[in-house]
Amino acid sequence: MNTSARMLRLLSLLQTHRYWPGGELARRLEVSPRTLRRDVDRLRELGYVVDAVRGVAGGYQLRAGGQLPPLLLDDEEAVAVAVSLQSSAAGGTPGMEETSVQALSKVIALMPTRLRRQMDALRSQTERLPWSSGPALDPALLSTLAQACRDREPVHFTYTAAVRDGVTAEPTERWVEPHRMVSMGRRWYLVAYDRDRQDWRSFRVDRISEPRTTGQTFRPRTLPAEDALSFVQAGIRRMPHRYAVRVVFETGIDDVAAVVGRWATVTGTSTRAVLEMNVDSLEWPVFVLATIDADFSVESPPELAEAAARMAARFARSLPEAG
């Protein structure tokens, strides 16, 4: 066996089992104990911290050091990493979506197909989080786009624009130079230069399908905005959401903020909180009303008040008319 391959195996062994007697390691790697000691030295030279204990029942142990060693995952673990990164990328961990997608594309791009199949199977049986509205994002799609951004490869895809005034737009073919992925709230956007329209656009990732890259690369252009995030935000403000929610709660802002987190703005005092957010669907706001155990008043939109009234009526019907 090659020296490099042996180092990798050694790292792997040290990762899967906490404690190894030197003799055992030497036997597994099929080298003399002396060579093993040298291999351990080499690891240490690479910056990894390998503890050694002498005496009877001594041995080696890889410890946290200055840098993270290459992670050697077995199949199951790789699938677990990929699946959980998916949910993070889909908004499960606010503020970390971009990095999650980055890590996810690393893993997915290198995952053997058999593991990808396992991953798909697992993902489909995964429950949707209660508050996540809309279809779950396809992680393969996310990571394909993220890689295209990173590697500066033009992308073809089919885009189904938003429904406007009840008219469903026809799917269109796009041919873009991807610039960056942006995660806003629970949604992903691709900021890209549209080659046909010769202008910058932001695309909602959940409306993108069948992405294709050709393997070519393009020369990056400069985005006409401070950064990709502000570009997307500017676009969103121009296109208002369906409902502008405004609710006053008779409780402290902390209680409200604890529930809604970053998905909305909360202002007010320690006894009265004003919640404001823009949404397309009323599921989430109704859930918020139910969760926050405080009196409230819905200032807008009327549809939310109606939805809340419907729920109240349903409860009233369902509960016995006790005291």
Partner DNA sequence: GCGATTGAGGCCTGGTCCTGTCCGCAATCG
Partner DNA sequence: CGATTGCGGACAGGACCAGGCCTCAATCGC
Report the side by side order of strands in the sheet with 199-204. Answer: 199-204, 187-194, 172-184, 155-159, 208-213
Interface of this chain with a copy of itself, residues 91 to 120, rule: CB under 8 A: 92-96, 99-100, 102-103, 106-107, 109-113, 115-116
**Contact partner, 93, from a copy of itself, DNA, none, Cβ < 5-8 Å per class:** a copy of itself
Applying CB under 8 A, among 28, 42, 156, 207 the residue interacting with a copy of itself is 42
Instruction: Work out whether 224 is an interface residue with DNA (CB under 7 A).
Output: no
Q: Does 286 bind a copy of itself (CB under 8 A)?
A: yes
Nearest in space to 285 (alpha carbons), one of 299, 272, 269, 271: 299
The residue within the footprint of a copy of itself, chosen from 34, 45, 56, 198 (CB under 8 A), is: 45
Q: Quick check: bond before 285 cis, omega within 30?
A: no
What torsion, rounded to 10 degrees, do the Cα atoms 133, 139, 156, 185 define?
Answer: 40
Question: Is residue 58 a contact partner of residue 21, using CB atoms and an 8 Å limit?
Answer: yes
Residue 214 contact partner, candidates DNA, a copy of itself, none, CB within 5 to 8 A by sort of partner:
none
Q: How far is the CB of 297 from a copy of itself (least distance, A)?
A: 6
Smallest distance, Å, CB 27 to DNA?
11
Mapped to the 3 state alphabet, what secondary structure does 182-235 carry?
EEECCEEEEEEEECCCCEEEEEEHHHEEEEEECCCCCCCCCCCCCCHHHHHHHH
Answer with the entry of a copy of itself, DNA, none that 112 interacts with (C-beta below 5 to 8 A by kind).
Answer: a copy of itself
Backbone angles phi, psi at 279, to 5 degrees: -140, 165
User: Residue 164 CB, nearest distance to a copy of itself (Å)?
Assistant: 27
What distance, in Å, lies between the first and last C-alpha atoms of the chain? 81
Size of the site for a copy of itself (CB under 8 A): 102
Q: Which stretch binds a copy of itself (CB under 8 A): 4-12, 200-208, 229-237, 264-272?
A: 4-12
Using the rule CB under 7 A, give the single segment among 22-30, 192-200, 257-265, 267-275 that binds DNA: 22-30
Q: What are phi and psi of 175, to 5 degrees?
A: -140, 100
- Residue showing tokens 């349903």: 314
Buried b (16+ CB within 10 A) or exposed e, 172-199: eebebbbbbbbbebbbbbbbbbeeeeee
> Which of 41, 196, 227, 250 touches DNA (CB under 7 A)?
41
Alpha helical stretches, state H, 227-282: 228-238, 253-260
Q: Interhelix angle for 3-16 vs 33-45, to 10°? A: 80
List the one residue from 3, 230, 265, 270 that touches a copy of itself (CB under 8 A).
3
* Residue 38 sits in the site that holds DNA (CB under 7 A): yes
Q: Which two tokens stand for residue 62?
A: 């890889």
Q: Is 94 in the site for DNA (CB under 7 A)?
A: no
Q: Does 50 bind a copy of itself (CB under 8 A)?
A: no
Residue 270 interacts, among a copy of itself, DNA, none and using kind-specific CB cut-offs from 5 to 8 Å, with none
Q: Which is nearer to DNA, 218 or 315 (CB)?
A: 218
Please identify, among the stretches 18-26, 140-148, 266-274, 313-321, the one whose residues bind DNA according to the rule CB under 7 A.
18-26
Looking up tokens 């109704």 gives: 286
The site for DNA (CB under 7 A) is made up of 2-3, 6, 21-23, 30-35, 37-42, 52-60
